[in-house]
Structure 1
Amino acid sequence: MTRPSIAEAEIVVLVQDSEWHSLGFDAESLCREAVGSALSAADVHDEKLEISIVLAGDQMVRRLNRDNLGQDRATNVLAFPGDSLGGELPRGAPCLLGDVVLSRSTIAREAKEQGKPVADHVRHLIVHGALHLLGYTHDTEDEARTMESLETSVLALLGVPDPYAAGGPDLGDTA
């Protein structure tokens, strides 16, 4: 059997907040590149995949965070898993990994506070969210080390400095 390439992964980017276009970079292309790199680094080649990235604002993220996690606040990233890799799917159907939702306002504010380019922070949060959809967690120290190591490897390939070198960022919530 021929293993699908990452190019067969469908990466859907939905822009819900038009202010994403004002950040000075092509957010949609950046998302596709970051997700593709995360999938490749996690060695995911065995299924047709679909992942959605939602570029939202604080209001939408706050509502999703409140309704799904019981936290009435905006955050930088939320990940909502879909199908599990290796699960039973109808013939030819893609594995719907889930959705990664990002808040432009929160991310831009955090990037400014942390003295890093917004694009680098977005790349990190996309990679982080995609890894959550693939089943990676940071619930224990060992899991956190594994996930952070994979994140920093992917980010290095994307030209992004290690975000954990200075104590680590707050990476939001996952549902």
Structure 2
Amino acid sequence: MPEPAAPASADTVIEDERWETAGLEDLADRAAAATLNWLGMAPAEIVVMGCDDARIAGLNADFRGKPRATNVLSWPAVEHLPHAPGARPQLPDTDELGDIAIAFETCTAEAEAQGKPFADHVTHLLVHAILHLAGYDHENDADAETMEAAERSILSGLAIPDPYVEKVK
């Protein structure tokens, strides 16, 4: 009888100690397990770095030519095959999905501005980034709808409200 697969988890690197207090390691493990399970993928290596706005601004400048802070960045381990607009992408055949960086100040400001619990917002961003690692994108409206539907489904399974529904203040 084959060994059962190890539960999905993320390797978490903490560059900003505020992420330690915020429980990034647990949030990343939860997001990885839920997303990989939803995708039907075996456990795969995902590295999540919790950093600050200055660090992510440097990464955004280096890799995307945008020298400003952003909430989350992802770097897939493999190049993804093109897919028809709105279609689910072909999942990578690898046990290494890629790397993610997430910025504390931007995530905090966004969660506060949107009236969402910080942990829910961070989990959403991690699910979003893991979907990017798996080949999902939002380059056109059809792909954005497919990706957002995936996010909603995964987050619903985690009892996190739809992040695309605006709260009335």
Structure 1 match to 2:82: none
Structure-2 change in CA distance of 1:3 and 1:77 (3 Å): farther
Contact 2:9 2:29 in 1 (8 A): no
**Cα distance between partner residues in 2 of 1:151 and 1:83:** 21
Structure 2 match to 1:34: 31
Structure-2 change in CA distance of 1:2 and 1:152 (3 Å): farther
Corresponding position: 1:164 with 2:164:
yes
Deviations 1:36-65 (A, max 9, x none): 1011111113xx521101111101100000
Structure 1 match to 2:51: 56
**Cα distance between partner residues in 1 of 2:3 and 2:162:** 31
Deviations 1:46-94 (A, max 9, x none): xx5211011111011000000010001000000111135226xxxxxxx
Deviations 1:131-165 (A, max 9, x none): 00000011111111111111011111111110112
**Cα distance between partner residues in 1 of 2:9 and 2:152:** 24
Structure 2 match to 1:92: none
- Give SS of 1:149's match: helix
Give 5+ residue unaligned stretches, structure 2.
80-91
**Cα distance between partner residues in 2 of 1:143 and 1:34:** 21
Give 5+ residue unaligned stretches, structure 1.
88-94, 168-175
Deviations 1:103-137 (A, max 9, x none): 00100011001111110100000000000000001
- Give SS of 1:101's match: strand
Structure 2 match to 1:18: 17
Number of positions where the alignment pairs a residue of Structure 1 with one of Structure 2: 155
Contact 1:37 1:154 in 2 (8 A): yes
Structure 2 match to 1:138: 138
Identical-residue share of aligned pairs (%): 38
Structure 2 match to 1:118: 118
Alignment of 1:49-128 (within 5 A): 49-83=44-78, 85-86=92-93, 95-128=95-128
User: Segments of 4+ in structure 1 off by > 3 A?
Assistant: 1-6
Structure 2 match to 1:172: none
Amino acid paired to 1:120? D
- Give SS of 2:98's match: strand
Deviations 1:16-40 (A, max 9, x none): 10012344xx221111011110111
Structure-2 change in CA distance of 1:10 and 1:35 (3 Å): closer
**Cα distance between partner residues in 1 of 2:78 and 2:143:** 21
Structure 2 match to 1:173: none
What is the TM-score with the length of structure 1 in the denominator? 0.81
**Cα distance between partner residues in 2 of 1:114 and 1:67:** 29
CA RMSD of aligned residues (A): 2.1
